Amino acid sequence: MSRKKREIPIFEHPLIETHCHLDYLKDRPLAETLAEAQRVNVEKVVTIAVSPNNLARVRELSQLAPWLYGTQGIHPHDAEQYSDAVEAEIRSHTGDDKIVAVGEIGLDYFYDNADRAVQREVFRRQLQIACDTDLPVVIHSREADDDTIAILKDFEQSLTRRGVIHSFTSGPGLARYAIDQGWCLGFNGIATFNKAENVRDIIRMTPIGQILLETDAPFLTPVPYRGRENAPCYIPFVAEKVAEVKELAVEQVVTTTYRNSLRTFHRLQ
């Protein structure tokens, strides 16, 4: 007989889902997914752009409800699809009220789906968009710590709003640099995985005032729902794990990360 899964905890203070991909969810109708998120007191959701093919879809999704928001940017996997026309599209929507950041941008040397030199160029070009438009940034960095630091150093003075290095799985060097520079680090279901002690070590060293909660749905479903498609409604499990690792009350984690999210993405106010 299979054991019944734990009920999703519901906290008194609302949560903000800072990073998911609503257009990638397949298991349930979107309306059900959003209703379940609201049921567990998820107050705002940010859905993330990653490719030229979903920039417009993210904008459409952000208009479905007052509590849905989006970003505009090209993921390093699709860096070779970046063009002047794509950049113009991103720039033309940076002033939209429901677009809260430039992202998801960065470097991925694990999969190497795009040439590394192209990734670096596209990363720089999109950081410049953030500088020019006074928007925060959502960064993806995997197996690319040194180059991520080197590029961010070039933008330290001109990037007036920092942002978040999301789904943080990098080493303590990048973590320390980001923390010292005022970035937030985003944590998700990986923190609940048995073999992710390296991620929990980074949570321990990160001030609670610089932590954001996310799911990265439909990926990285937290324990105890691994094996199912991830969804924003599972973010309470991430809050619980951060609280456990940092030895804090879960309500303190929820309230502080909520404030962190509003501070980082100022258009969520």
Would residue 108 count as lying in a domain? yes
Which residues in the chain come in under a pLDDT of 50? Answer: 1-3
Would residue 157 count as lying in a domain? yes
Quote the pLDDT of residue 1: 37
Q: What is the CATH number of the domain that holds 215?
A: 3.20.20.140
Would residue 228 count as lying in a domain? yes
Would residue 6 count as lying in a domain? no
Quote the pLDDT of residue 61: 98
SS (H, E, C) 138-149: EEEEECCHHHHH
Number of domains comprising the chain: 1
In the structure encoding, which two tokens stand for residue 176, read together? 């320390």
Q: What is the pLDDT of residues 235-252, one digit of tens each?
A: 999 999 999 999 999 999
**Domain membership of residue 128 as a residue range:** 15-268
Give the three-class secondary structure for 163.
Answer: strand
> 46-55 as b/e, with b when 16 or more CB fall inside 10 Å?
bbbbbbbebb
Contact 266, 161 (CB under 8 A): yes
CA 155 from centre of chain: 20
Give backbone dihedrals phi and psi of 170, rounded to 5 degrees, phi first.
-80, -175
Quote the pLDDT of residue 265: 98
Contact 253, 259 (CB under 8 A): no
Quote the pLDDT of residue 4: 60
Contact 231, 34 (CB under 8 A): no
Q: What is the pTM of this model?
A: 0.97
Q: State the Cα angle at 210 between 209 and 212, rounded to 5°.
A: 105
Would residue 90 count as lying in a domain? yes
Would residue 7 count as lying in a domain? no
Would residue 212 count as lying in a domain? yes
Would residue 32 count as lying in a domain? yes
